[in-house]
Amino acid sequence: MSRIIIALLILSVGGFFGTTPAYSITPIPQESGFSGFINLGAGAVTAKSNMIVGNNLTTIGNKRIDSLTDSADSVNDFIPLISGELAYTFASTRTQLYLGNSLEDFIRFDTASLAGIRQELPDESIVALSYVSNLIRTEVWADPYVVGQDRTKTDRTSSGLRLGYAKILGSDFEMQFTWRNIELDDERSGLTQLGLAPDQAKLLNREGDSYEIEVLYPFRFKQGKHLLAPALSYRRMELDGEAMANNHYQGQLTYAYFGNPFSISSNLIFAVADSDKTNPIYQEKREDVIYGLSLSVFYRDFLDAQGLSLVGTAASFRSDSNIDFYDSTIGLFGLSVLYRF
């Protein structure tokens, strides 16, 4: 499955074009009450993927293809940008309950809707536990390897748990572990036209579990106006199909500038992913190299309203595979209005 397209498709639809990074786990306010943000806008996406359809808000997949050896054709679409988070803080116990799209996930191009609890410990470190799900379901092709006729789409869902630990031992060091179960309503990879034996078709199965661990350390300069945050992550895709199962290693560098009225957030990522077994269609193991960058610009106090920001974001990402069929790209541009409360 197109690993970077899935993440960025839901990122764009979820509208994560409205965050400025400060912590991976959001700090708990000092006073009791509600807090959060809402982000509304619109964007445009151009993408290439042979594996992903899109969802009910946007489409990036071609229903019909003519080759199993070529990269996908480009598809363009417009998308609404809608996201938000609502939290309630109990100041006396330093506890916070929250629901919505996590601010920190934009920094690392994750795709999560969260419902959970954050707890500040006596040493001022923070532990967070949440239920993770994709409320906007990704649509994929039930059998991506059908040529010369229309392919049938199916829903892909994922859900699981996330455990985070921030400001460890009084430092800015952070760790996060996420487990997700991945399911397709109708998984038929390789069963429609190719005539694969059942044990061969099973190698292409995209259902299973994902385990990811990530470490992050933000460095702050010039009285906190500049932030540089390197992050490293390892994700194990323990899928039922061993040709789709893989080890994914990623490095990311985030830079942010906090100014008035303008702030900037930029991200650079590089990753590699290696599959476990030989693909029965192409007779080689799949290997992907993923890279990309993004830039978000925030104009604070938009329309002279405190807490209101105008946000513009541009992003470009690419996944190059040794098997051309799995190549994918995505370009994003979004303009939204962010309100924090």
> What residue ranges of the chain have pLDDT lower than 70?
1-24, 101-112
Q: How far apart are CA 133 and CA 138, in angstroms?
A: 11
Rg of the chain's alpha carbons, rounded to an integer? 20
Q: Please write the tens of the pLDDT for every residue from 185-208.
A: 999 999 999 989 999 999 999 999
> Which of 113, 196, 187, 125 has the alpha carbon at shortest distance from 156?
187
Please list, in sequence order, all residues whose beta carbon lies within 8 angstroms of the beta carbon of residue 296, skipping any fewer than 6 positions away.
17, 19, 20, 264, 265, 266, 311, 312, 313
Tell me, what's the pLDDT at 319? 93
Taking the domain 3-340, which CATH number applies? Answer: 2.40.160
Structural domain spans, the chain: 3-340
Q: Please write the tens of the pLDDT for every residue from 23-36.
A: 457 789 999 999 99
Tell me, what's the pLDDT at 14? 38
Per the document, the length of the chain is: 341
> Across 134-278, where does the E strand assignment appear?
138-141, 153-166, 174-184, 208-216, 219-221, 226-239, 246-258, 262-275
Q: What's phi and psi for 196, nearest 5 deg?
A: -70, 145
> Which pTM value belongs to this model?
0.89
Tell me, what's the pLDDT at 86? 93
